[in-house]
Chain A
Amino acid sequence: MGQPVPRYDAAAKVTGRATYASDMPLDNPAYAFLVTSAIAKGRIDRFELDDAKRVRGVIEIVTHENAPKLKDSKLFSNGGYAGTTIQPLKSAEIAHDGQIIAVVVAESYEAAREAANRVKVSYSAAAPSATFDSPGTTTAAAKGQNSQFKEDPKVGDFAKAFDAAEVKLTASYATPTQHHNPLELFTTSCAWTGDNLVIYEGSQYVHGLKNGVAEQLGIDADKVRVVNPYVGGGFGSRGSMTPRTAIIAAMARRLNRPIKLVPTRDQGFTITTHRAETRHEIKLGASRDGRLVALRHEGAEVSSRPDAYCVGGTKTTTRLYVCPNVDSLVSIVRADRNTPGFMRSPPEVPYLFALESALDELAVELNMDPVELRRINDATRDPIDGKPYTSRSLMACFDEAAKAFGWSQRSPQPKSISDGDWLIGYGCAATCYPTLMGPSAARVRLQRDGRTRVEIAGHEIGTGAYTVIAETAAERLGVPLEKVAVFMGDSDLPPAPVAGGSNSTASTCSAVMMVCDQIRQRLFKALMPSDTLADKAKETVGISPAPSTQAAKGDRSLDIEKAFDALGVGVVEEYGEWKPEGAPLDSFRAMHNGQVRLVGGHQMKDQIAYAFGAEFVEVRVNRFTREIRCPRLVGAFAAGRIMNPRTARSQLMGGLIWGMSSALLEATEIDERNARYVNDNLADYLVPVNADVPGVEVILLSEEDDRINPLGVKGLGELGNVGTNAAICNAIYHATGQRIRKLPVRLEDIEL
């Protein structure tokens, strides 16, 4: 494990010096305020703008009738950059509630807001389709319409095996729409200097945003720079381009003045993406001794009319446990909604809720401990393709977490534990998340006195990216940590992948490590001029490395001052591009074009790579008020080498709380008649507050995995919040005898 050093950016964050996008100083900015649609489907007949234009300080009001023309961008999954192909301000058509229909620009925020509220809109509204079961939706298999959903995993003969199974379970589950709600609003500031555009926007992918906006504006991508050294939470919401950015950029160009947009919290619910609502049917067949003989997972997800977005979590749920007969199907339901997008552990949160709940139901059916049921079916190979897991510590996690939690004290009968008015239940579930990596570049500069500068367009969304990158460079170069400066969040820096899919640490630290080794190599070569011609010849033809190369790639320490003296220079600087094994041939080109080529998970050639964990929870249900509390969350996790146990622990702790939230709190409520969100603010969209979270325990298991990447790192940012929802419902069953299959669990769902 790495060192638990405090965050690199800690001082900046506790003093208010950390500058987020809307904190960036602008020279004489104009302020933009959005007007969004009050209907979900139909068209705009007419705007009345006179009243709005009379507001003192109004500079411009843009609607589809006079908006700057922008080129379309394709969906990120189809070779584009956008999270939605619904491009506002292009026509009078309305595709979803809260679509941007006008932008007011004024001298002050207050004037822009007032004028926006004075814009009057006449619509011809049509009846929208809101969600599952709404009239007018269409449903079709994901395969064939979503280019990233390649296969419905299958193996053996499910129907026959299920038919013949000694014990059978069929159950349906549902998860709600959720919104990321990072605390930083979805702000965008755009400033032009001549032909050059600078965008200040919280982004999880500065190179993607840069290229996407350039494409929409029809300008050279090198004219666009995206800057955001700190991002106020991402959770997936800032991974792909939203329409607002190019609109504000084009308006700033037209106005020849910087424009600052600070959308409201409620606008954030409709101008970005969300986690779509899902439905699942699980069929499990098992022998009496608990061995799975048949597994089928059918999932359905809601998307927008034009975009076939889906998360398709069956790729994971069909591979988690040994089972010879597996079938699956994912469908997409199209409704009059904005296109959904990734939200923290996009496939795993809804799909493992279904599988891990069903396993608990099966354990009850079999009268078996749910931990033992998982042990019996623990896999060392992917049951679909037969590839071995690079490492898999699922049961070790179960054992550690069970011990810390006191699982052995549990009496399995429902309603068997109580404390005064409170019924107490224990539950558990597995978590897993694929290990993903993407091509990344980095530049490292080392001075004779050890001062080091690392440049990489990674993203600090709260993960500790600055910290682990600084630690990697300090360790490889053998310089004190406080001498390392890290520069990130700027598309003028060497490209790094999207901060998504928990790939950042593995990708960026691998790139930084490789470039540091290039520096070491130069310095060792200076120190070891005795490498013979034969060594060099052998190295050239790839037979064996020269001693200096060997030293650079090993752990041998380096006398930097001596090496600099030998080299006769004051600064050594190296740039390099790293890609994971199995990355496609076009990886580096795509990386520079702002396109993501993540590899890993089940898509590796000869192996399959996942991080695992086990989560145990205690719930208390009040027998009179039915209030549900979750006083204890315990998780044990194994994710390869932990770069910094301090930041890792925090992320997993936050993840566990997210998991609790997805079970008990979070849902975006939809008015099904109007296909509109009802609770689009932080008082009505429930997120956990401090009083909701009494006890969280994170256990980090050490795990060595030299098959995934040079550092042996698996991503863990999205590991903590998976399975928790199932663990909580399993605990509610234990407390009350009632099985809840639809999230979030509300008081009214509990019948006592």
Chain B
Amino acid sequence: MPDKPGSRSSGFDRRAFMAGAAGSALIPITARAASEDARAPAAQDPSLPVEVTLNVNGKDKRLSIDARTTVLDALREHLKLTGSKKGCDHGQCGACTVLLDDRRVLSCLTLALAAEGQEITTIEGLATDDRLHPMQQAFIDNDAFQCGYCTPGQIMSAIACVKEGHAGSEADIREYMSGNICRCAAYPNIVAAVKQAAPEIMKG
């Protein structure tokens, strides 16, 4: 799915940020780097807090964070929404999966600044008035987890998998759920859960 550049409302400039971040990672702070800092916008020094507003589960949250903070760390360390899990911090395991404007993304590979202006949905935002989302109920009904650590990511991914139209067959579900590792290996039960919830989710 293409990016939606128009949806970013902050003054954040990805290019300026990358220049600053790369500088800080590769070269020590020298006179040259410092003079670049002086010319560039605040995002150039990544350790200076930046202001960001994140829309999480329908509510705007204003944060002052390190510009390098990922969506995952913003949720977990700054907003106390610890449902999204850190399993690798490298985009390899899927435990951190959240929805960004209904698209599934790896929140450990998404900078909080880059998520500004988009709607973030986490596992905490699925149930309404104590009524579980059909996918949550399906995971319970099919015992689709053991330790539960990958489960929030699995459920977020599963909802997107259905909405993408990738839940038409068991083989499709297996393929499109393969970005989410379950080390306990509840996979066959996860497939059963996605199958169960798909019709209800498609009905809306």
Contacts and interface: CB of A to CB of B under 8 A. Distances in A.
Specify the main secondary structure of chain B where it touches its partner. Answer: loop
B149 A20 contact: yes
Contact of B180 (A11, A657, A690): A690
A648 B76 CA distance: 32
B42 to A, nearest CB: 14
Given A232-B149, A693-B188, A108 B178 contact: no
A694 interface: yes
B25 to A, nearest CB: 7
Interface stretch (A177-185, A212-220, A373-381): A177-185
A749 interface: no
A682 B93 contact: yes
A9 interface: yes
Contacts of A14: 123, 132, 136-137, 139-140, 145, 151, 155
B84 interface: yes
A111 B24 CA distance: 11
Contact of A233 (B84, B90, B149, B187): B149
Interface string A103-116: 00000111100100
Contacts of A691: 174-175, 178
A183 B181 contact: yes
A647 B85 CA distance: 23
B123 A183 contact: no
Contact of B185 (A23, A647, A658, A683): A658
Query: Which of A647, A691, A695 has the most C-beta atoms of chain B within 10 angstroms of its own C-beta?
Result: A691
A693 B187 contact: yes
Contact of B132 (A15, A264, A658): A15
B82 A646 contact: no
Nearest to B81: A16
Contacts of A460: 147
B150 A646 contact: no
A182 B149 contact: yes
Interface in A17-36: 17-20, 22-23, 25
Nearest to B122: A16
B191 interface: yes
B88 A682 contact: yes
B28 interface: yes
A687 B47 contact: no
A57 B69 CA distance: 14
Interface string B168-204: 0011011101111111111111110000000000000
A661 B150 CA distance: 18
Contacts of A585: none
A646 B90 CA distance: 33
A682 B184 contact: no
A680 to B, nearest CB: 11
A449 B145 CA distance: 33
Nearest to A58: B47
A650 interface: yes
Contact of A17 (B25, B83, B150): B83
B150 A183 contact: yes
A461 interface: yes
B82 A694 contact: no
Nearest to A463: B146
A690 B87 contact: no
Contacts of A11: 132, 140
Contacts of B152: 16
Contacts of A235: 183
Contact of A690 (B127, B148, B187): B187
Given A654-B186, A682-B90, A15 B126 contact: yes
Contacts of A10: 139-140, 143
B17 to A, nearest CB: 13
Given A232-B148, A233-B147, A462-B146, A184 B85 contact: yes
B77 interface: yes
B90 A13 contact: no
Interface residues of A, number: 72
Contacts of B32: none
Contacts, number: 195
Given A16-B84, A54-B29, A184-B149, A681 B90 contact: yes
A653 B178 CA distance: 18
A694 B123 CA distance: 27
B143 A647 contact: yes
A3 interface: no
A231 interface: yes
A653 B189 contact: yes
Given A6-B143, A7-B143, A681 B174 contact: no
A614 B60 CA distance: 55
Interface in B113-128: 122-124, 126-127
Given A461-B147, A462-B146, A185 B86 contact: yes
A118 B27 CA distance: 10
B72 to A, nearest CB: 11
B93 A653 contact: no
Given A111-B66, A232-B149, A654-B146, A690 B122 contact: no
Interface in A633-684: 646-647, 649-651, 653-655, 657-658, 661, 681-683
Given A15-B123, A183-B93, A687 B183 contact: yes
A256 interface: no
A68 interface: no
Contacts of B182: 183, 690
Given A183-B181, A694-B174, A110 B47 contact: yes
A412 interface: no
Contacts of A414: none
Contacts of A694: 170-171, 174
Contacts of A658: 185
B177 to A, nearest CB: 5
A265 interface: yes
A693 B185 contact: yes
Contacts of A650: 143, 146, 184, 186, 189
Interface string A164-205: 000000000000000001111100000000000000000000
Given A117-B25, A682-B90, A653 B149 contact: no
Contacts of A646: 143
A6 to B, nearest CB: 6
B104 interface: no
B124 A16 contact: yes
Query: Which of B25, B82, B171 has the most C-beta atoms of chain A within 10 angstroms of its own C-beta?
Result: B82
Contacts of A182: 147, 149, 183
B143 A184 contact: no
Contact of A262 (B69, B86, B171): B86
Contacts of B124: 15-16
Contact of A114 (B47, B82, B178, B181): B47
Contacts of B47: 55-57, 108, 110-111, 114
Interface in A444-468: 460-464
Interface of B: 24-25, 28-29, 46-48, 66, 68-69, 73, 76-77, 80-90, 92-93, 95, 122-124, 126-127, 132, 136-137, 139-141, 143, 145-152, 155, 170-171, 173-175, 177-191
15 contacts: A23-B82, A56-B47, A182-B183, A183-B87, A235-B183, A647-B143, A653-B185, A682-B90, A682-B181, A683-B92, A689-B181, A689-B187, A690-B174, A693-B188, A694-B171
Given A185-B88, A230-B148, A232-B148, 17 more contacts: A9-B148, A10-B139, A15-B124, A16-B82, A22-B82, A23-B82, A56-B47, A110-B46, A183-B95, A185-B87, A230-B149, A262-B86, A461-B147, A651-B146, A655-B185, A681-B90, A689-B179
A-B pairs, 3 with minimum CB distance: A16-B83, A462-B147, A232-B149
